[in-house]
Amino acid sequence: MAGAIALRIDGMTCASCAEQVKAALERLPGVRSAIVSYPTGRADVAADAGVSSGTLTATIATLGYRASIADAAPPLTGVLDKALGRLTAGARRGKGGRPLRIAVIGSGGAAMAAALKAVEQGARVTLVERGVIGGTCVNVGCVPSKIMIRAAHIAHLRRESPFDGGIEPSSPAILRERLLAQQQARVEELRHAKYDSILADNPSITVLHGEARFRDTHRLVVQSDHSAEHEVSFDRCLIATGASPVAPPIPGLSDTPYWTSTEALASGTLPRRLAVIGSSVVAVELAQAFARLGSKVTILARSTLFFRDDPAVGEAVTAAFRAEGVEVLEHTQASSVAYADGEFILATGRGDLKADRLLIATGRMPNTRELALDAAGVAVNAQGAILIDKGMRTSAPQIYAAGDCTDQPQFVYVAAAAGTRAATNMTGGDVALDLATMPAVVFTDPQVATVGCSEAEARRLGIETDSRLLTLDHVPRALANFDTRGFIKLVTDTTGHLIGVQAVAPEAGELIQTAALAIRHRMTVQELADQLFPYLTMVEGLKLAAQTFSKDVKQLSCCAG
């Protein structure tokens, strides 16, 4: 029989402290789950009957915090239930009983999710957008880049595949202008279907076009393109302004017509030589796409590719790139950039590098500088990202933030989930966004997919680990595809519970959610190994990787259970 134990925790100073306590509690035998809140200083633990509060408090003490039994909240019944209902309803109304007025700055994934949820809760929304409706993802990010990457993948397969001995390859003619037209038509179709038409058909959402800035904690000023000013008063406000590419301070760079991802995706021509400065997601995705469409590509990586991830990830992707003719210069920086006669010249420690186009993909900066956040008392970090708690609350009462303009991971699905939860909290709810099992995918070939902790991240959290790395030459689907590039790596704690997965494999993104669910439900590698996985699928590689903790998979039959 499971029970609930509520603890008060003193000494936590940030959300990471709460994550550390949660991880330590959930490693204890008999603990089924732990919800730890930094803002409230409380832990709610679901545990088997044999788990004592003393064991829990002692474990927390080893981390340097003080824990004690918390007073349980009294059950809400009868009159109290009704009173709570009135309070919740009141939180959804403005002064005088009018609908709650919510201002949303931005129109991307976080903004749209929040606006629609807020309207569902009875609020009236004013949405402010300074540019094109839809934000980064649909217009200049996820959608166009994945279309281009897929087209490049098809071109690559026509030119070269593991089956060239039986299917004669050919060199396709790349008509970039036609590919671009196809790409942009789909972008416009999705923007109209998922953004423009939804906003136009919703009478509870008013759209203002212009630049927003805070006048104070309850008012915005919106400057339109016609220099007219509109004042927007609000009861609650969500900042969801996203982020923009940022260039490093390389001498001479600002005087050149370099590309960011926006210009690269919109180009109707393919450069003969492309230099890419950067080593993470945008850099590698676009570098490989351009190379497969016919450009000679050189990547300059200040460290190594994916240097923040498990070293095996960067090594596998680098090997795959070099096999395709992409030049990867590790530990290489440009000391200066010049442009003359249609040619870029990058000075490096390895000599001068010349290119017809230069793509800068070194990160993105939150779009917060023009918002006058000081006027509303909204705090940001050194990079200009808005600081929020797990409920998307900023340092200013009644003002929330979500998406790439915050210190959250920059993924559109994180932004949308944060926007929905922010709207729930703005209308009287109290929900949090748990990113402990957030999957991430990089759409190179092979793809990179990760979830949970790497070994290095676990060590930083004080978690002892065990791990196994399974190369794809042990996965039947990869063997049948004649494509065994990459690996699947599982990381566990010392009790055998799965805490992290890193995979480099063709279509790795299609298997990572299974890994995320396994971590979410506290599965051990043995429990994962005991599951039924369909034969000749890539996701079966998770089962095989789990089996390596107790067996030599080389000695198993091809579909061993």
Residues 6+ apart with CB under 8 A from 208: 126, 127, 128, 129, 222, 224, 230, 232
Q: Measured between alpha carbons, how far apart are the two ends of the chain, in Å?
A: 32
Q: Can you tell me the distance from the alpha carbon of 498 to that of 505, in angstroms, rounded to the nearest whole number?
A: 20
Is residue 137 among the annotated active site residues? yes
Instruction: Return all residues near 219 (Cβ < 8 A) that are at least 6 apart.
Output: 231, 232, 233, 234
Q: Is 405 a catalytic residue?
A: no
Identify residue 457 by its one-letter amino acid code. Answer: E
Q: Cβ neighbours of residue 236 under 8 Å, at least 6 residues apart? A: 100, 101, 102, 103, 123, 398, 399, 400, 426, 427
Closest to 243 measured CA to CA, from 102, 141, 391: 141
User: Is 237 labeled as catalytic in the residue annotation?
Assistant: no
| 17 in catalytic set | yes
Q: What gap in Å lies between CA 146 and CA 143, rounded to an integer?
A: 5
Annotated catalytic residue 142: yes
Catalytic-role residue among 142, 339, 413, 438: 142
Which residue is it, tokens 């009790």?
Answer: 495
> Which one is catalytic: 1, 12, 38, 426?
12
Cα separation, 317 vs 311, in Å, equals 10
How is residue 387 annotated by DSSP?
Answer: P
Are the CB atoms for 43 and 9 separated by under 8 Å?
A: yes
Q: Which of 112, 137, 148, 405 is catalytic?
A: 137
What percent of the chain is helix, strand and coil (3-state, nearest 5)?
35, 25, 40
Q: Is 14 a catalytic residue?
A: yes
Catalytic residue among 38, 65, 195, 258: 65
Q: Which one of the listed residues 1, 14, 405, 453 is annotated catalytic?
A: 14
Question: What is the rounded CA–CA span in Å between residue 400 and residue 234?
Answer: 12
Spatial contact of 469 and 477, defined as CB atoms under 8 Å apart: no
CA distances from 17 to 7, 62, 81, 432 (A): 15, 13, 34, 16
Catalytic residue among 17, 237, 405, 538: 17
Give catalytic status of residue 453 as yes or no.
no
Give the residues across from 493 on adjacent strands. Answer: 465
Q: Are strands 343-348 and 334-340 parallel, antiparallel or unpaired?
A: antiparallel
Q: How far apart are CA 430 and CA 423, in angstroms?
A: 10
The set of catalytic residues is: 12, 14, 17, 65, 137, 142, 558-559
